[in-house]
């Protein structure tokens, strides 16, 4: 009896060969994609710090310079070239003491022309006053003459009325006497009214002229005073600083030629990074180290205008007794922003520039793996750790500039 021989299926053989190959390729591709990128680094090239549980205090530190508590700029009132210098930078000066003399021929000529014009106007006004006075005098003379004529007419009237009653003089003569008396009386009354009104008008004009003359004299006084502005004097007593005039150097009106520092107390002035603008405010207290001892200071003014990434802070000494300070010396100022509290802290480092505190490399043996974290407050020494790290863990705190796309660092000795 014949045996049936089954023919093998070639397609199944091919599938058995191809499928393992495909699976192997998929495995290699997946492995290459999911494999974490690593990089070898020398231990000497990195900085490793340990996360610790410690007291954290939010504070800032910045440098501040000692400046006088009060100062005043010495400004140029009338521009000109330096002609004479009487003092030197750093000298102690008294109020009103000459510092420097400027010279400007054009301005001086203009002053002379203005002075001449004002004097001429004053003379014209005085002449107008004199004319009014002469007018009053002439009116007074005329009034005296008219009063004399009236008195003559009155005397004749009083005489003739008696003679007329005694029938000594004719009626026609008496009528002429009456008419002349009436005329002289009315004439005198009218002239008196006119003189009174004229005097009143003249008094108003003279008062106005006197006011104008007074204003002109004030203008002349100010003009002559301004001529003295070429001589720059100390506005108050103190130490002269930033004073560097040179013979022949021209200063424009309004320019500052120096500063007078009032040597009665000192303050600190600092340029602070704009990062701390929202963290500092007036009234906050801090301290400086003066000859090995802490000295309390307090923020008195915050000038919030930011220039070139910095703003100005002024601080006063809370107690400056027996402090022998010199202008211009610097102190490191520490301002406390919060009370001490215990928390997890990590030493500050350059890694923050690349990560903004969102991730770090955590060291485990001879490897360091990337880990997501969360940082909170900071001070010049530490970051406050909120999430992602535990006390005792070691973190690379040096720069991550070359490791931004790396997941694992292999640390080599």
For residue 11, the model assigns a pLDDT of: 59
**CA-closest candidate to residue 313, choices 58, 61, 74, 57:** 61
Mean pLDDT by 10 residues, the chain (413 residues): 52 62 60 62 90 85 86 85 89 90 81 82 85 82 84 86 83 87 86 83 84 84 79 87 87 86 83 87 88 87 90 86 75 83 89 90 91 88 91 92 86 86
For residue 52, the model assigns a pLDDT of: 92
Sign of the dihedral through C-alpha 47, 51, 53, 55:
positive
Question: What HEC string does the chain produce?
Answer: CCCCCCCCCHHHHHHHHHHHHHHHHHHHHHHHHHCCCEEEEEHHHCCEEECEEEEECCEEEEEEEEEEEEEEEEECCCCEEEEEECCCCCCEECCCCEEEEEECHHHHHHHHHHHHHHHHHHHHHHHHHHHHHHHHHHHHHHHHHHHHHHHHHHHHHHHHHHHHHCCCCCHHHHHHHHHHHHHHHHHHHHHHHHHHHHHHHHHHHHHHHHHHHHHHHHHHHHHHHHHHHHEEECCCCEEEECCCCCCCCEECCCCEEEEEEEEEEEEEEEEEEHHHCCCCCCCCEEEEEECCEEEEEEEEEEEEEEECCEEEEEEEECCCCCCCCCCCCEEEEEEECCCCEEEEEEECCCCHHHHCCCEEEEEECCEEEEEECEEEEECCCEEEEEECCCCCCEEECCCCCCCCCCCEEEEEC
For residue 33, the model assigns a pLDDT of: 47
For residue 14, the model assigns a pLDDT of: 61
For residue 10, the model assigns a pLDDT of: 60
Domains of the chain plus CATH, in order, are 35-57+340-412 (2.40.420), 61-97+241-336 (2.40.30.170), 106-229 (1.10.287)
**CA-closest candidate to residue 97, choices 232, 242, 253, 241:** 232
Model pTM score: 0.49
Q: Tell me the pLDDT tens digit for each residue of 98-128.
A: 999 888 878 777 778 888 888 888 888 888 8
> Do 234 and 99 meet the contact criterion of CB atoms below 8 Å apart?
yes
For residue 125, the model assigns a pLDDT of: 85
For residue 209, the model assigns a pLDDT of: 85
For residue 358, the model assigns a pLDDT of: 92
And the tokens for 24?
Answer: 């192997």
For residue 321, the model assigns a pLDDT of: 63
> Do 90 and 240 meet the contact criterion of CB atoms below 8 Å apart?
yes
Q: Tell me the pLDDT tens digit for each residue of 75-95.
A: 888 888 888 999 998 888 898
Could you give the 3-state DSSP secondary structure of residue 114? helix
Sequence-ordered list of residues with C-beta below 8 angstroms from that of 319, at least 6 positions apart, any chain: 295, 296
For residue 267, the model assigns a pLDDT of: 87
| Residue 296 backbone dihedrals phi, psi, to 5 degrees | -75, 140
**E strand or H helix that includes residue 107:** helix 105-165
For residue 31, the model assigns a pLDDT of: 47
What is the distance between the alpha carbons of residues 356 and 345, in angstroms, rounded to a whole number? 16
**CA-closest candidate to residue 270, choices 333, 359, 223:** 333
What is the distance between the alpha carbons of residues 117 and 122, in angstroms, rounded to a whole number? 9
Phi/psi zone of residue 167: left (φ > 0), alpha (ψ -120 to 50 degrees), beta?
A: left
């Amino acid at each position: 009896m014949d045996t049936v021989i089954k023919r093998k299926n070639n397609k199944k053989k091919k599938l058995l060969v191809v499928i393992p190959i495909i699976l192997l390729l998929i495995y290699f591709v997946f492995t290459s994609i999911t494999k974490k990128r690593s990089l070898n680094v020398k231990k000497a090239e990195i900085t490793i710090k340990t996360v610790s549980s410690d007291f954290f205090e939010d504070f800032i530190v910045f440098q501040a310079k000692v400046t006088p508590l009060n100062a005043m700029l010495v400004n140029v009132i009338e521009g000109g070239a330096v002609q004479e210098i009487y003092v030197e930078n750093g000298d102690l000066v008294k109020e009103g003491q000459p510092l420097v003399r400027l010279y400007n021929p054009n301005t001086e000529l203009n002053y002379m022309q203005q002075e001449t014009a004002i004097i001429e106007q004053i003379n014209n006004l005085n002449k107008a006053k004199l004319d009014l006075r002469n007018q009053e005098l002439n009116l007074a003379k005329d009034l005296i003459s008219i009063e004399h004529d009236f008195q003559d007419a009155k005397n004749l009237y009083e005489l003739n009325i008696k003679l007329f009653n005694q029938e000594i003089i004719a009626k026609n003569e008496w009528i002429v006497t009456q008419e002349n008396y009436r005329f002289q009386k009315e004439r005198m009354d009218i002239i008196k009214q006119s003189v009174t009104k004229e005097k009143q008008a003249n008094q108003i004009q003279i008062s106005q002229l006197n006011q104008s003359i007074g204003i002109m004299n004030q203008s002349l006084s100010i003009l002559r005073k301004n001529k003295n502005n070429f001589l720059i004097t100390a506005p108050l007593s103190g130490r002269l600083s930033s004073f560097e005039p040179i013979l022949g150097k021209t200063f424009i009106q309004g320019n500052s030629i120096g500063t007078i520092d009032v040597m009665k107390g000192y303050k600190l002035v600092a340029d602070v990074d704009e990062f701390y603008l929202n963290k500092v405010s007036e009234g906050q207290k801090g301290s400086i180290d003066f000859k090995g001892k802490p000295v309390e200071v307090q923020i008195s003014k915050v000038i919030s205008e930011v220039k070139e990434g910095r703003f100005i802070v002024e601080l006063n000494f809370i107690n400056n007794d027996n402090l022998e300070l010199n202008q211009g010396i610097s102190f490191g100022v520490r301002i406390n922003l919060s009370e001490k509290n215990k928390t997890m802290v990590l030493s500050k480092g350059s890694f923050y520039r690349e990560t903004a505190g969102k991730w770090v490399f955590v060291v485990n043996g001879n490897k360091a793996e990337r880990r997501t974290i969360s940082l909170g407050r900071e001070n010049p020494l530490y970051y406050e750790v909120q999430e992602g790290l535990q006390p005792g863990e070691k973190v690379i705190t040096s720069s991550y500039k070359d490791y931004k796309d790396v997941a694992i660092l292999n640390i080599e000795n």
